Amino acid sequence: MIENEIPRGTRTPLYRAFEMLPAVVSYSLLVLVFVLPFIDPRLGAYYVLAVVGVMFFRAIRGSVDLARGFARFRASSRVDWSARLVDIGLALDGRRVPPSPPHSFRVHRHRALLDEVKADPDRFLHPNDLRHAVIVAAYNEPYDVIAPTIRSLAYSTTPGEQLLVFFAYEERGGDGIRETAHRLRAEYGHRFGAFEIVEHPTDLPDEIAGKGSNITYAGHAVSRWVKEHGIAPEHVLVTTLDCDNHPYDSYFDYVAYEYIASPDRKRTAYQPISLYITNIWDAPAVTRVIASANCFWNLTCTVRPFALRNFASHSQPLDALEEMGYWSKRTIVEDGHQYWRSYFHFRGNYRVVPIHVPIYQDAVMAGGLKDTLVAQFTQLSRWSYGASDVPFVAAGIFGRHRRAPFWAGFLRFLNLLEGHISLACVSLIIAMGGWIPFLVMRTTGGSDAFIEQMPYVVGLVQQIAMISLLISILVYRAVLPPRPVYYSRRRHLFMYLQWLLYPATILTFNASTALYSQGRLLVGRYRERFDVTEKMTAASAGVPGAAAVALDAPTSAAWIGRGHARPSDRGSTVEHSRER
């Protein structure tokens, strides 16, 4: 059996060549911006205009897909997914199913599914038989960061006995996280079907220190627990969460619904929308912009099946995880890499189903502005190290032992490679490219009206493309959580002025981190340590007035449109109605 893992130590020449490929292409495309104008200024101008033109159409398409993704997010979040599970249960039990609202999200698909259940009930699982194993990964984060995550699980619409919480923390995190784990179990353990504490030992063989190793160790604990309690692995859905993640209240019901409906359950994973807005009001402007851009991309991917990958928190059936050895213990980007491991394990017969409700996460905030910027760079450089998947995928497609259909895999490989290259160099080409042919022509004493207009043409295209940014701002306004009481109304102004930083922020952080990560792969300086992004609350970061606000409710509010809120711990009602 071919090992489905990233190699450690010496790579083969083919693998090493593909490791170098992203950096070689990205750096070459940047060098061409400066070299081509010296060969022929018009050639340099055509090159830049070609890149600008492609990105212009991508920006327009992206704005359309963002609007579509938000529309699905808004519609699906209003569905009572627990009621739809009840419908499936009634159909399986041979009982009458009540009618569904005629205009609710994908209601025709729901009615068709119920007809299939009635016609062939043996094909489907009963919702009451499903369990959700939730692995909450932690390092040494404080109690006030982790507690809202556990509390949000307790207020899920899924019955508590169907939620199995496995709190997975690192031994190297110290005594503080161990005490936090036991405190959380004492306070919340009775609200779930299980609350298991899993301490990941330090320095186990054949693994790097990182989240993948931690959750894989916890995955084995899940399998042992399930076996001891006589539960079939195919009846267990495993969801991985960072310790600052807050799932939408109906997330687990939605995943269960899609899992039951799936024609090939083992070969399917489920990807929610990662929205980095839990602490968005408290984070500095720079990290707010980056967090918002990541939200937009995640919303966009939900309507692009070919581009959808495992990312951050996601769900996968336990029988599939057991069969493929859980997650990788050799990479710092175990989430995205899990897609490729699954894709090759199942020989290309694998897909990711979008879950159009969010798991809320924090924007980067690490105390002072300097520390926050360093933490943001660290996080983005870790994400961009996903370029390490390029040689892994190439080996599975072009290697001696092909592990997936060639053409389908080849197209996915091109999509992966192009994404990392675009991240690294396109924004720099657009920012500088319009001026380089103009300056070279002026320096050499030439004259060309077309070249002289280049900076203005590129600028005009960029201004037109700003339409996509306006759509993004409207979506941002719609998902923005309510303003905390310790901020005045003037804070709203700064939340919109932040968009003036958008071009410089994306240019500085996205391009630099991608070039940095690809450069490390180019010279063989592999990252084999997971640099944890520091997490803290507004109170611990010293935000004035934050400490005086009681932590009464899960922060994973159902912010769908303006003025909607999730039930608090004290039993307030959801302001928008649920649809079956």
Mean pLDDT of 187-208: 95
Q: Where are the beta strands (DSSP E) in 478-518?
A: none
Q: Which of 250-254, 450-454, 546-550 bottoms out in mean pLDDT, i.e. has the lowest? A: 546-550
Average pLDDT, the chain: 90
pLDDT of residue 572: 31
Tokens of 140: 């040494």
> In angstroms, rounded to a whole number, what is the distance separating the alpha carbons of residues 272 and 158?
16
Q: What average pLDDT does this structure show over 247-265?
A: 97
For residues 561 and 135, the model is more confident at 135
Q: Average the pLDDT over each of 67-76, 96-105, 409-418 and give the range with the smallest value.
A: 96-105
Confidence bin at 202 (pLDDT 50/70/90): very high
Lowest mean pLDDT among 20-24, 415-419, 477-481: 477-481
Mean pLDDT value of segment 142-150: 95
454 and 533 in contact (C-beta within 8 Å)?
no
In sequence order, what are the residues at sequence separation of 6 or more whose Cβ sits closer than 8 angstroms to the Cβ of residue 156?
163, 247, 249, 250, 251, 252, 253
The secondary structure element, H or E, covering residue 237 is strand 236-242
How confident is the model at residue 575, as a pLDDT? 36
The alpha helices in 302-346, defined as continuous H runs, are 318-324, 334-345
Give yes or no for a contact between 573 and 567, defined as CB atoms under 8 angstroms apart.
yes
Number of CB atoms found within 10 A of residue 13's CB = 6
Tokens encoding 485: 């009481």
d(CA 433, CA 431): 6
Total-model pTM:
0.92
Q: Percent of the chain beyond pLDDT 90?
A: 74
* Cα–Cα distance for residue pair 221/138, rounded to 1 Å: 16
Question: How many angstroms separate the CA atoms of 31 and 17, rounded?
Answer: 20
- Beta 246-247 vs 131-138: how paired, if at all? unpaired
